[in-house]
Structure 1
């Protein structure tokens, strides 16, 4: 027997004999992303305008902080302090979002609270009510948009304003569509200066109902959801853009077929345009299109990517500078490798930023293909971003 193979077998026999720990089936299933997850800084976030960062300790029950100069962590806020200041009953810090360097917001159900880490004071910001879902803050964390059933609303101060008022429950606004395909994980998009709200709207009128068994109640009951089966009618998406000053909405529909995908929506920093990746149902032809945010009018196609197998846009255009509409596009369609490309708003390629050479296996088109190359690209080109 090969000596190397013998050594390897001996090692594994040793590990089997002395390194194994018996776990229950429940542990193996329920604790794989908890007690047995890989070590990491859970809930890592930068505190705005600082070199300080936070992460969760004790499974979200402690809010720890450290700096880039000193990684020795200390507890920034205790749950007891948070609950005493807000009058709430938080069980963890999960869901925390920073408003500024001293203040963060946190939701308890549909009640939104604010806490100041310097003064150690807190308050209830708003109570959206039990029917609110898909709560989305603007960048300043001062304005909120949300859905109730199939319609979209936002708070103008303390006044609830209806953006849509659809009586047909099959027409749904402000929620994701296409079952979270192509990077779609939410349906509300505040503009950078909070003057406009873009949102997905999907018409499911022609989509068949699909029964699901709800086992959380006794006896179980059947709930119907809209689910497009293969070969049947699909949902029809469009993008609405609501002006908070004029209270008017314009709509953008696919330039191709009515059931094409509208994905990876992004605002330009000047709020004048939205960029949308439009993908055909065959998923092999994508047009990155620019639209006027005030009228919804099509301006131009910035780039067109076609592939004999499929095209998979998963990340919206990224704008390195708040003062420029030049953007970074992530794609593997140009050379088969997942790389970053720098374009101007006319659709002209300025520079290829990365030269990643970890080829994605096209027969593993979903989770197995996603994160590793992107991480390497971002890590490698952080200095390049700083120069853009």
Structure 2
């Protein structure tokens, strides 16, 4: 058996384009000419010294799951092969989804996506020792199937209800019975929670495998949104509950099912029903559940500790903010059962804080005018916290270690750019993924002191190909607006750039709250398209306006209650600054964006009509009245409270100002930013008698992809740019 390294997944082919120095759209979207390799399919085992990964035997061509050493990559054993997981003549996919004691593996087959983070599949449990395969259920595909920590049960959702399969008794038990489509959801989230609070599975096993804490969504009074899907002789209407800004949300309750007593308790969340429960998490005590409760304005966050036997809860910590609070997954309960760790912006920057279990703050662990961007975890044996931050620059990310005392801080990454880490279970090792605007991912294995153990992937070939095509990265710049605000940006210039010439400029914008485009990292196909345009003689520019992230609370939240105003002013000022550069043709500046960026491009070509010659808006929000409650109200409150904030910066209300060339693009099956946004904006432009172009992609969602869709989309945008800019 050949000794494999951690699985390296090639994200496409490496065939060169016909011309060795000319980028084509086929290179970017079909051939995979510039694709890089990454480390994937790895799962750390409990001992922290070994991992499992999906490998392939080069001689037999059989796939298998291997257990290997972190230190040298040598295979300890082949845990199972493809031949071991054939069920009733059907070959199941390989999986590394082990239960806690690493005796069983959960396998998902025939997966069907639902929304961004949800899917359903047929699930099977494979017992490693006996090689026995058990079908979780024969009554229909399951969502969110999850092994209990002790490996004796599988919980899952089907038809909006929660079920438990007892693997020892071979019995399936239904634990909720009121689930109804578009009315009651048990164990899963509604659309808006999945999209905006970024989780779909809404049930969680306790550590003793005796309890399941779960969400119940009552979305009966949430308005229905209907989309037409053009699939058959008669189009189909797809209907789902989508709460737009100011409309009714689901009423959410939290429950706990006790498997031994076969009873359910409801957790006391207080009398208010118009609120959010963005997270629940078990503490180290299997009888104590932490519930995060947030008001509808999202500027007050309570931490509740609930006794799941009685349902009684107590508020142990409350955080309030004059703007809004961003929810994350950093909350960590220490194994000592006496403390917990979280991140908070309470001093204006996101930092680490340590608390006692009674909610008393022990200390602020990190501080400074920079942000902790990710908490990797805590090694309690050494009292060490591992995290990622922007301490060196908002444009960069580095990995650090610090004591729980707040002392002995050490930077573990040593190359400027973007560094992300994946730690082994006991924090003995971590995989460091480094890239910069000039270099693709360089992936190494390191010990917990930062020492290099071995190189896993250097992407040398990808860098050579990028060099052959003159893909050299971005040039960062900074400028001050007329109001004294310093903004970060980047330029991508033609490889044969001549500063004595004047070039047309295409600005790229996203600009939404907390986002970032100007970053020192290697990026994907969209950035490659920018280099493609640069080879055609364009300069591509990008500026992170006020409201974007990683520069502190005041910068990010300055757009509160008035989305679009400051962002548009900053993009217009950016265009004026670019126009003054000696190498820019001031009469040929365009702008484009997708989603929030499409909203920005639409505002810029209308409110900034004298500045921009061209704009492309892809899947734009055109009035925040059409977008969902959680996202929109976080920044604007409700339309009933803040009518001016909704209407003063809606592109629909400025359609009569359009002067330049405008291309409006949308997918008709967009469940996120509804096609309605572009339909109503196009109607406003028509009634204003303004010429513009539009394109729709049938049945495509917010990502607008599938088959030849992407190459067609970018080809259309390229043609529009070359003809009009």
1:96 to partner: Cα distance: 3.2
| 2:400 aligned to which of 380, 385, 388 | 380
The equivalent residue for 1:188 is 203
The equivalent residue for 2:318 is 304
The equivalent residue for 1:320 is 334
The equivalent residue for 1:201 is 216
CA distance 1:81–1:251, change in 2 (3 Å): same
The equivalent residue for 2:359 is 347
Alignment deviations for residues 204-258 of structure 1 (CA, whole Å, 9 cap, x no partner): 1111111133456665411210111122111110101111122221212533631
| 1:176 aligned to which of 189, 200, 213 | 189
CA distance 1:371–1:325, change in 2 (3 Å): closer
User: Secondary structure of the equivalent of 1:192?
Assistant: coil
CA distance 1:183–1:78, change in 2 (3 Å): same
* CA distance in 2: counterparts of 1:85 and 1:99, whole angstroms: 24
Q: Is the 8 A contact 2:67 2:78 kept in 1?
A: yes
User: Secondary structure of the equivalent of 1:24?
Assistant: helix
The question of 1:266 aligning with 2:266 is answered no
User: Secondary structure of the equivalent of 1:40?
Assistant: strand
User: Secondary structure of the equivalent of 1:97?
Assistant: coil
The equivalent residue for 1:93 is 94
1:338 to partner: Cα distance: 2.5
* CA distance in 1: counterparts of 2:367 and 2:43, whole angstroms: 28
TM-score, normalised on structure 1?
Answer: 0.77
Unaligned runs of 5+ in 1: 1-16, 361-368
* CA distance in 2: counterparts of 1:77 and 1:162, whole angstroms: 33
The equivalent residue for 1:150 is 160
The equivalent residue for 2:26 is 24
- The correspondence of residues 17-96 of structure 1 with structure 2, limited to 5 A, is 19-24=21-26, 28=29, 38-56=36-54, 63=65, 65-71=67-73, 76=78, 80-84=82-86, 88-90=90-92, 92-93=93-94, 96=97
Q: Is the 8 A contact 1:64 1:73 kept in 2?
A: yes
| 1:279 aligned to which of 278, 294, 298 | 294
* CA distance in 2: counterparts of 1:292 and 1:149, whole angstroms: 29
1:64 to partner: Cα distance: 5.1
CA distance 1:167–1:280, change in 2 (3 Å): closer
* CA distance in 1: counterparts of 2:213 and 2:31, whole angstroms: 38
User: What is the RMSD of the two structures over their aligned residues, measured on CA atoms?
Assistant: 3.6
User: Secondary structure of the equivalent of 1:346?
Assistant: coil
The question of 1:160 aligning with 2:172 is answered yes
CA distance 1:188–1:341, change in 2 (3 Å): same
User: Secondary structure of the equivalent of 2:348?
Assistant: coil
* CA distance in 1: counterparts of 2:247 and 2:31, whole angstroms: 39
1:159 to partner: Cα distance: 2.1
1:371 to partner: Cα distance: 8.7
Bigger radius of gyration, 1 or 2? 2
The equivalent residue for 1:242 is 257
CA distance 1:80–1:274, change in 2 (3 Å): closer
The equivalent residue for 2:140 is 130
* CA distance in 2: counterparts of 1:158 and 1:115, whole angstroms: 14
Q: Is the 8 A contact 1:254 1:260 kept in 2?
A: no
Please say which of residues 308-317 and 213-222 is displaced more in the overlay.
Answer: 213-222
Q: Is the 8 A contact 1:83 1:89 kept in 2?
A: yes
1:311 to partner: Cα distance: 0.5
Please say which of residues 168-177 and 259-268 is displaced more in the overlay.
Answer: 168-177
TM-score, normalised on structure 2?
Answer: 0.43
1:356 to partner: Cα distance: 6.5
* CA distance in 2: counterparts of 1:352 and 1:334, whole angstroms: 10
- Ranked by relative contact order (alpha carbons within 8 Å, sequence separation 6 or more), the top structure is 2
Q: Is the 8 A contact 2:42 2:53 kept in 1?
A: yes
CA distance 1:139–1:24, change in 2 (3 Å): same
Alignment deviations for residues 52-95 of structure 1 (CA, whole Å, 9 cap, x no partner): 1133457x9664553222135699467533345885413x4356
Q: Is the 8 A contact 2:99 2:149 kept in 1?
A: no
CA distance 1:339–1:350, change in 2 (3 Å): same
User: Secondary structure of the equivalent of 2:107?
Assistant: strand
User: Secondary structure of the equivalent of 2:91?
Assistant: coil
User: Secondary structure of the equivalent of 2:188?
Assistant: coil
Q: Is the 8 A contact 1:280 1:286 kept in 2?
A: yes
Alignment deviations for residues 287-338 of structure 1 (CA, whole Å, 9 cap, x no partner): 1111111111122x222111111101221632231x514222222x222332
1:22 to partner: Cα distance: 2.8
Q: Is the 8 A contact 2:268 2:312 kept in 1?
A: no
